[in-house]
């Protein structure tokens, strides 16, 4: 039987790379994303792909998602909690409290909302896997990114607690910690750093690579491949772990 996979924020970026990786294995994949245009752009691209538009911070949207998953796939084997926002780049004394609350609402509360709703489906399936998208910022402090780093550290505790709680039900729970990943989101981060530091965007990119042992940014497809392995039959006792995909970075810079 093919795996039944839900990926939040799955219509673009790392989420879409993971969706493609699971689809390549024959899995049924449902992507849940608040970007209606992105969902429409990929819908119909694969016979095993379904998608819906909604917000992880909305309990009502998540309730609808549960019904969609049950009706379309008959249950769930894999949850990838990928939805998150970066928030602004600013010193703590200048950080907008509203921006802080927004980052926490999506990154922490959104992960809780979806996980809380989907765990009964995973238990009903007799076990499964949860992957939580943290960050390199969830391993190191991150100057001028106070809300983002705090939320990603919070997801480490979230993951470890779920692993202990759900392990007896045959559910593995691990976190992924990407560093600088190729794509529009990282480009926006470099723009924010350059605006704050007065350096050029290219200088900020060079500084990021200098911070890594591997002198290239991460391909989202590599994260997709790792996700497939961690949710597969050869990783059934790998749980409660943090997996970095960051070129062996020395810090979150």
Identify the DSSP state of 249: B
Q: What is the mean pLDDT of residues 71-81?
A: 97
Chain centre to alpha carbon of residue 89: 20
pTM higher than 0.85 for the full model?
yes
- Residues 172 and 233: their CA atoms lie apart, in Å, by 11
DSSP-assigned beta bridge partners for residue 173: 130
Mean pLDDT over 128-150 rounds to 93
pLDDT of residue 96 exceeding 70: yes
Q: What are phi and psi of 16, to 5 degrees?
A: -70, -35
Residues in the chain: 253
Q: Which of these, 113, 98, 84, 239, lies nearest to 168 by C-alpha position?
A: 239
Look at phi and psi of residue 250 and say left if phi exceeds 0, alpha if psi is from -120 to 50, else beta.
alpha
What percent of the chain is modeled with pLDDT above 90? 75
The rounded distance, in Å, linking the Cα atoms of 234 and 170 is: 14
Confidence at residue 61, expressed as pLDDT on a 0 to 100 scale: 98
Share of the chain above pLDDT 70, in %: 98
List residues with catalytic annotation.
148
Mean pLDDT computed over 208-236: 88
Q: What CA–CA distance (Å, rounded) separates 40 from 59?
A: 23
At CA 82, angle to CA 251 and CA 234, rounded to 5?
Answer: 90
The residue among 1 and 51 whose pLDDT is bigger is 51
Please determine, for residue 79, whether its predicted confidence score (pLDDT) is greater than 80. Answer: yes
Q: Find the mean pLDDT for residues 84-106.
A: 96
Q: How far apart are CA 205 and CA 86, in angstroms?
A: 17
Per-residue pLDDT tens digits for 158-216: 999 999 999 999 999 999 999 877 777 777 777 777 777 788 877 777 777 777 777 77
DSSP for residue 182: S
CA–CA separation, 20 vs 27, rounded Å? Answer: 10
DSSP code of 181? B
Q: How far apart are CA 93 and CA 245, in angstroms?
A: 31
Distance CA 169, CA 161 (A): 14
Q: Domain ranges in the chain?
A: 4-179+220-245, 181-217
Q: 4-179+220-245 belongs to which CATH class? A: alpha beta
Please report which residue ranges of 126-212 form alpha helices under DSSP H. 146-166, 184-197, 201-210
């Amino acid at each position: 039987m093919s795996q039944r996979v839900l990926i939040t924020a799955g219509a673009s970026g790392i989420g879409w790379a993971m969706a493609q990786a699971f689809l390549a294995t024959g899995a049924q994949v449902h992507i849940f994303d608040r970007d209606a245009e992105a969902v429409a752009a990929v819908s119909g691209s694969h016979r095993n792909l379904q998608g819906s538009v909604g917000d992880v911070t909305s309990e009502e949207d998540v309730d609808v998602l549960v019904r969609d998953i049950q009706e379309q796939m008959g249950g769930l084997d894999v949850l990838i909690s990928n939805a998150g926002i970066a928030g602004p780049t600013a010193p703590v004394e200048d950080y907008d409290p509203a921006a802080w609350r927004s980052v926490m609402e999506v990154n922490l509360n959104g992960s809780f909302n979806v996980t809380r709703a989907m765990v009964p489906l995973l238990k009903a399936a007799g076990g499964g896997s949860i992957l939580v998208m943290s960050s390199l910022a969830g391993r190191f402090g991150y100057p001028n990114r106070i809300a983002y780093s705090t939320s990603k550290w919070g997801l480490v505790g979230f993951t470890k607690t779920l692993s202990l709680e759900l392990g007896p039900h045959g559910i593995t729970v691990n976190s992924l910690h990407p560093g600088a990943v190729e794509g529009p989101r990282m480009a926006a981060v470099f723009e924010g750093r350059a605006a704050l530091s007065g350096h050029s965007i290219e200088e900020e990119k060079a500084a990021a690579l200098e911070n890594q042992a591997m002198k290239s940014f991460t391909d989202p497809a590599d994260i997709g491949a790792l996700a497939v392995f961690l949710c597969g039959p050869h990783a059934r006792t790998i749980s409660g772990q943090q997996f970095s995909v960051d070129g062996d970075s020395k810090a979150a810079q």
